[in-house]
Amino acid sequence: MPSNATGFRRLLIAAAAGLAACALGAGSAAAQTYGIATMQPGTLSHTSASAIAKVLKEKGGLNVLVQPTAGETTLIPMVDRGEADLGIANIFELENAKKSNPDLRLIGSLHSLRGAFWVRKDTTMKTIADLKGKRVVLGFSAMRTIDPMVKAILATGGLTEADVKPVLVPNVVRGADDFSNGAADMFFFAFGAAKVREIDATVGGIRALEIPQSGMAAAKKILANGYLSPAKPGPFFVGVDHPMDVYTWDNMIFTNAKVKDDVVYKMIDTLEKNNADLVAVAPALREFSAANLYKSYDIPYHPAALKYFKDHNIAVKAVQ
């Protein structure tokens, strides 16, 4: 049997340990970590996520860490389940996932993504309609949202897959490689990707095919949320040899219904007030603003985002 003195000392030690545990618990709560799920390093979304995490931590005092994943089909359910607090994905992926991920909540549109059909510069093809009878990359078995996008762009030229010779590919990289080695007459990719510059150098020059505004009604029957935006010759718009409209869709930042209102509100406010710091890390975020966040998409917005928009008189914008 321990003496009274020994027992008293043990009680003091236990009490001290309990106090220490409480203190550590309080510190952990004060330094809560928020995850932002994104695609792999090297992608535009990962760069954007890195800029957002840096600004929220340094300017907003929020400990935000980037969580790279295998891709958008992986990260969207993670955010829905609360395994990550934020996510970045394109609007087409989110539209596909909304029924099976009911807790997703939009914060808004981060910036636009733009893509094109490219052909060799020395061909006579200049518009989408010129692809009739040509070998066109389709399928995209590993990137399910790309196939309807390609079909939507074909529709702008009055074409369907029956009007072309399909070259089935798993992803956009394989499509670009098939174009480069002569197995396809065009390829689809997003502007700004290193692969586009690589193909341009490999084949001696590429040209982006022009999309007519008159064809967008047909395209929207396939993908309602695609639109056209202006592009002009420059280092970013490889293959654009004169001002033209290019196919465009939105890259979104989103959360889930369980993330607290004050946290989401503070995130938006911090990003809005520190845009220059975002752009320093991710130039694509030069388009970011609180006013551009709020667009008319058929996915619920987080209540705190709606409150921010109301407090700052930001009206919802139609998707063009």
Q: Report the pLDDT value the prediction gives residue 312, as an integer from 0 to 100.
A: 98
Q: Report the pLDDT value the prediction gives residue 193, as an integer from 0 to 100.
A: 81
Q: Report the pLDDT value the prediction gives residue 145, as an integer from 0 to 100.
A: 87
Which tokens sit at 172? 């956009």
Q: Report the pLDDT value the prediction gives residue 2, as an integer from 0 to 100.
A: 46
pTM for the whole structure? 0.81
Q: Which domains does the chain have, with CATH numbers?
A: 32-112+250-311 (3.40.190.10), 114-249 (3.40.190.10)
Q: Digits of tens for pLDDT over the chain (320 positions)?
A: 444 544 444 444 444 444 444 433 444 334 699 999 998 887 788 899 999 999 999 999 999 999 998 888 899 999 999 999 999 999 999 999 999 999 999 999 999 999 999 999 999 999 999 999 999 999 998 788 899 999 999 999 999 999 999 999 998 889 999 999 999 999 999 988 889 999 999 999 999 999 999 999 999 999 999 999 999 999 889 999 999 999 999 999 999 999 999 999 999 999 999 999 999 999 889 999 999 999 999 999 999 999 999 999 999 999 87
Q: Report the pLDDT value the prediction gives residue 19, as an integer from 0 to 100.
A: 40
Q: Report the pLDDT value the prediction gives residue 31, as an integer from 0 to 100.
A: 67
Query: For the segment 148-195, what is each residue's pLDDT rounded down to a tens digit?
Result: 999 999 999 999 999 999 999 998 889 999 999 999 999 999 988 889
Q: Report the pLDDT value the prediction gives residue 6, as an integer from 0 to 100.
A: 47
